[in-house]
Amino acid sequence: MTIEKYDRSGGYKYVAYDNDGKILIITSSKTALKTACYSIKLS
């Protein structure tokens, strides 16, 4: 899984991709990103 961080006005945006380059998560919250990554790893 790849996580990219984009700098936007008003903060950052995190985009997580799986190994096929499919977008899984787009969020501005680091906590939400960690939670989502954790649940993806479990599934």
Radius of gyration of the chain (CA): 10
Give the model's pLDDT for residue 19: 85
Spell out, as residue ranges, where the chain has pLDDT lower than 50. Answer: none
Q: Describe the strand order of the beta sheet including 2-8 as a list of residue ranges.
A: 2-8, 11-17, 23-27
The CATH number for 2-42, chosen from 3.30.70, 2.60.120, 3.30.160, 3.10.129, is: 3.30.160
Q: What is the 3-state secondary structure of 1-43?
A: CEEEEEEECCEEEEEEECCCCCEEEEECCHHHHHHHHHHHHHC
Structure tokens at 25: 């998560």
Gap between the Cα atoms of 26 and 17, Å rounded? 9
Domain ranges of the chain: 2-42
pTM over 0.75: no
